[in-house]
Amino acid sequence: MKKITCIIVGTRPELIKVAPIIFELKKNKIEFIIINTAQHKELLAPYWDIFKLKADYELDVMKPNQSLATLTASVINQLQNLLDAINKNIGLIVAQGDTTTVMVASMIAFYNKIKFAHIEAGLRSFDFENPFPEEYNRRVASICTKFHFAPTKLSASNLLKEGINKKYIYVTGNTVVDSLQFIVKSNSLIKRKFADARLNNLENDKVVLITCHRRENQGKGLQNIIEAVLKIANKFNNYKFVWVLHPNPNVKTIVLQSKLSQTSNCIITSPLDYIELIKLMRYSKFIITDSGGIQEEAPSFCKPIVVLRETTERPEGVELGMAKLCGTNINKIYKAALWANEYKFSLKNNPYGNGNASQKIVAILKKEAIKK
């Protein structure tokens, strides 16, 4: 029986970054299946349409207010049961990032003696609490990985320091750049109107994009971030501050009930699809975020970032001088916003690659892992 490749995704960042790899697999006529754990079911759903893709199998792992341990157990059980039921001769499992889905995918690969390819390998914050639980997830994944696809030289060096054989470490760039170029070339940004009509008449470079969702920023941290945004919005009253909500009620409810909702130059909007988010990113003067993905995407648009985190596993932007780590300290966030407003950023060499990461990855897999 011919061996096939299994792509496992569960969240929207994973699909965004795996989509160009799937396109390359198709071009190379490599047989594969896609499993969606649906870890972010509602958030992920629209993204299948954006990339014109469809999962072959879908799990149902999410329950209200479940613990991380319960989620992990659910993904393990459902994913193993599915692999047993579909009775496919899987020779390779591919997953991207640092979610519970990715950690479990690597574990399932190990338990079933299947080769595991980790996309975006080697990212490290060196702090298990920041981000939580992602730093733990990606370290576990690295233990089980056969093929480590590191997006940058720095992430590759992290793996080498952990004793990973350099023979299995490949610096490829980040596939998020591939996806961004795919969207831009499709002219989707020009054609797309925002579902929220308030966003359709925004003036270029008069927008500040805000996103916040991390567990470690919830509670007092989120309150501090809101206070900082209110202070910045008062300072730059000719700008529109667009806070893109995350559906987690621990974030959503607090933001909606805050003074931001009564602030004239603040717009609180529902989650945006990928094309809308990119379009808003391009409009922005600067970005305030705790998102790892946006830290990678912003350099492609030369946008400075105020990072709402104490540490980052993506230090390339900080080292380039186009991102500042602020945590949830009100004064640090405010001062960083002043800096970002004045900052002129020009990027000749994107630290995350030039848009051919997926081609490199599939070429390596075709040569080293996927046997006919």
How many Cα neighbours within 13 Å face the side chain of 332? 16
Which of 14, 24, 120, 316 is labelled catalytic? 120
The tens digit of pLDDT for each residue in 307-363 reads 999 999 999 999 988 999 999 999 999 999 999 999 887 767 788 988 999 999 999
Contact present, 288 and 303 (Cβ < 8 Å)? no
Beta pairing partners, 263: none
Residue with tokens 């912003």: 298
Percentage with pLDDT > 90 across the chain = 77
**What pLDDT was estimated at residue 226?**
97
Residue with tokens 């308030």: 198
Average pLDDT for 69-77:
97
Q: Cα Rg for the chain, rounded, in angstroms?
A: 20
Under CATH, to which class is 188-342 assigned? alpha beta
Task: Please provide the average confidence, as pLDDT, over all residues in the chain.
Answer: 93
Residue 327 gets the label, from left (phi > 0), alpha (psi -120 to 50) or beta, of left
How many Cα neighbours within 13 Å face the side chain of 39? 27
Q: Element (H or E) spanning 7, and its range?
A: strand 4-9
Which of 215, 276, 290, 313 is labelled catalytic? 215
Tokens coding 15: 């699909």
The tens digit of pLDDT for each residue in 348-362 reads 778 898 899 999 999
Under CATH, to which class is 4-173+355-368 assigned? alpha beta
Our answer to whether residue 296 is catalytic in this structure is no
Our answer to whether residue 134 is catalytic in this structure is yes
Our answer to whether residue 124 is catalytic in this structure is no
Among 202, 201, 207, smallest CA distance to 285 is for 207
Residue with tokens 């029986």: 1
Q: Which residue has the higher pLDDT, 89 or 88?
A: 89
Which of 14, 24, 98, 216 is labelled catalytic? 98
Our answer to whether residue 120 is catalytic in this structure is yes
Question: Residue 1: which pLDDT band, with cuts at 50, 70 and 90?
Answer: low
Beta pairing partners, 316: none
Average pLDDT for 279-286:
93
**What pLDDT was estimated at residue 102?**
98
Q: Element (H or E) spanning 58, and its range?
A: strand 57-58
Cα 292 from Cα 64, distance rounded (Å): 25
Question: Residue 371: which pLDDT band, with cuts at 50, 70 and 90?
Answer: low
Tokens coding 362: 């599939």
Which of 14, 134, 216, 290 is labelled catalytic? 134
Cα 315 from Cα 125, distance rounded (Å): 9
Residue with tokens 């299947």: 114
Q: Which residue has the higher pLDDT, 88 or 219?
A: 219
**What pLDDT was estimated at residue 6?**
97
CATH 3.40.50.2000 boundaries in the chain: 4-173+355-368, 188-342
**What pLDDT was estimated at residue 247?**
82
Cα 75 from Cα 10, distance rounded (Å): 10
